[in-house]
Structure 1
């Protein structure tokens, strides 16, 4: 399964991604430490990344969680990660989480990725509701939610606690599947 985005492509995480994932995580540590602390701590060395990637590839096969890589076509450099997580088969609901590397920010890649993977989530996974949970000060992420037609629903009080910080209120955005 491969999704084409002109000069980039999206594909499911695979075991061969461990080394490049470790490099991506370490080189983007400052931007990941607040909102992706678990992903960060599980990828600080190549050995840790190997275990992480094997676990995520297995979760993908089992349809428990879906981690995709966004890569540049020519160099195959890892540009970002997009999760479809918190899958609830009863509610037919999932949540997006995403991060982009410093050299790739501001190009609209995350927005394009979320749009492509929204179609996948609705059509292939049968989900009916997708969520994005974001802090109001993360303006780039708020913009991605809005550009992908997610609608603000409510503020979730004390929803997320970054390492070493007090709990943060987070904003819930949702998008619903509509039959065409």
Structure 2
């Protein structure tokens, strides 16, 4: 499952990307390919200029998915997430339209 959450108002040219894949399918490149396809749709069809994702610091596999898809690490939002009553930092990754265009040239 994957999708883009389009932002509104002054953020309307941005979207948050999210994805989930069942454990039997981990390590097969499926999530990375889904992220790439969503970015293509976002930039080329929806006119976005920025796509971003927040990742729990313990989810190294998700960070790797984003990095393989061409995302750049942007920042850490300290103590921004809570899951099962544990507070975590939020690791923010992003891809801009310029980075997307540049990554297409490398393929």
Normalised TM-score (structure 2): 0.84
- Would you say the 8 A contact 1:156–1:171 is kept in 2? yes
Matched with 2:7 is 87
Higher relative contact order (CA 8 A, sep 6+): 2
Matched with 2:26 is 105
Q: Judge which range, 93-102 or 82-91, deviates more.
A: 82-91
Aligned residue runs from structure 1 range 111-126, under 5 A: 111-126=32-47
- Would you say the 8 A contact 1:88–1:94 is kept in 2? no
Distance in 2 separating the partners of 1:170 and 1:154: 8
1:86 Cα offset (Å): 5.0
Root-mean-square deviation (Å): 1.6
Are 1:156 and 2:82 an aligned pair? Answer: no
Are 1:167 and 2:87 an aligned pair? Answer: yes
Deviations 1:1-25 (A, max 9, x none): xxxxxxxxxxxxxxxxxxxxxxxxx
1:165 Cα offset (Å): 1.5
Structure showing the higher strand proportion among its residues: 2
Distance in 2 separating the partners of 1:146 and 1:175: 10
Q: Give the secondary-structure state (helix, strand or coil) at the position aligned to 1:94.
A: strand
Deviations 1:37-86 (A, max 9, x none): xxxxxxxxxxxxxxxxxxxxxxxxxxxxxxxxxxxxxxxxxxxx002115
Aligned residue runs from structure 1 range 1-180, under 5 A: 81-88=1-8, 90-91=10-11, 92-162=13-83, 164-178=84-98
Aligned residues: 99
Distance in 1 separating the partners of 2:68 and 2:32: 7
4+ residue runs over 4 A deviation = none
Distance in 2 separating the partners of 1:156 and 1:146: 18
1:170 Cα offset (Å): 1.1
Normalised TM-score (structure 1): 0.51
